[in-house]
Amino acid sequence: MIKGKTLFISGGTRGIGKAIVYAFAKEGCNVAFTYASSADAANDIIADVESKYGIKARAYKLNILEPETYKEVYELFDQDFDRLDFFISNAIISGRAVVGGFGPFMRLKPKGLNNIYTATVDAFVVGAQEAAKRMEKVGGGSIISMSSTGNLVYTPNYAGHGTNKAAVEAMVRYAAAELGEKGIRVNAVSGGPIDTDALRAFPNYEEVKSEVVSRSPLSRMGEAEDLTGACLFLCSSASSWMTGQTVVIDGGTTFQ
């Protein structure tokens, strides 16, 4: 039962994060989410989910390239919400910040790779630490990191993201091992290629898309909504003995 509880998710303005905000709000869960530059989109989402689902929603500006600033964002969160039950580390960087991190192996550069580590692993760590402090006060909770199957199957240009998704899945297992005693479960949801802005920014987007459609036994690309069910499951009592795992939702593409 997630009705009346509170979710905090990074990157709730677009793509998968936005779909998760709506899925939780629809179930009666209050939602706090972050944005980087889409302040107007964040305000529109707040107004929409509050009026449609009668829940409380708030948004805060966050730059995951500066993970320590999560602490200030959580202080703002504390002024708006009196409990935290679920945290989903979802936001991802793109554009200039990933130059040297997104590309073929021979063009990888430490700065770009380190930016992706900061935004993926460090941001998960600080966001989850702050979440755990608050979840402890309500007797437990559920933490999720979004991941991708680009750490399992070769995806052109994806070495920087793929290696950091592998790292964050390992960090999830360490967090799970140490937070269980507080009643906090920690898992990852790993998606195959999903049709969002992040994927549309791939220079070979059309090629990736047609390959996914032909590889998937379900003959289609993933949509952002395809990942919401696993998040709801991992935040519900239906998954109460599940921790330290990665749930793969890939339309069957990883095995083909």
Q: Which of 26, 52, 158, 209 is catalytic?
A: 158
Closest by Cα among 7, 12, 10 to 45: 12
Catalytic residue at 117?
no
Q: Positive or negative, the Cα torsion across 68, 121, 39, 233?
A: negative
Among 132, 193, 215, 247, binds ligand NAP (CB under 6 A): 193
Closest by Cα among 188, 256, 191 to 221: 191
Q: Which is nearer to ligand NAP, 85 or 226 (CB)?
A: 226
Q: Does 35 help bind ligand NAP (rule: CB under 6 A)?
A: yes
Q: Does 76 help bind ligand NAP (rule: CB under 6 A)?
A: no
Cite the DSSP H helix spans in 54-109.
Answer: 70-80
Q: Does 38 help bind ligand NAP (rule: CB under 6 A)?
A: yes
Among 26, 28, 56, 65, binds ligand NAP (CB under 6 A): 65
Q: 52 burial class (0-12, 13-18, 19+ CB within 10 angstroms)?
A: exposed
Q: Does 151 help bind ligand NAP (rule: CB under 6 A)?
A: no
Shortest distance, CB of residue 216 to ligand NAP, whole angstroms? 13
| Cα gap 99→170, rounded to integer Å | 25
Shortest distance, CB of residue 139 to ligand NAP, whole angstroms? 28
Shortest distance, CB of residue 236 to ligand NAP, whole angstroms? 20
Query: What element of type H or E holds 3?
Result: none
Q: CB of 117 within 8 A of CB of 164?
A: yes
Among 5, 11, 46, 251, binds ligand NAP (CB under 6 A): 11
Shortest distance, CB of residue 115 to ligand NAP, whole angstroms? 9
| Cα gap 14→196, rounded to integer Å | 8
Q: Does 167 help bind ligand NAP (rule: CB under 6 A)?
A: no
Q: What 8-state DSSP symbol labels residue 38?
A: -
Positions marked active-site: 158, 165
Residues that bind ligand NAP (CB under 6 A): 11-17, 34-38, 62-65, 90-94, 146, 148, 191, 193-194, 196-199
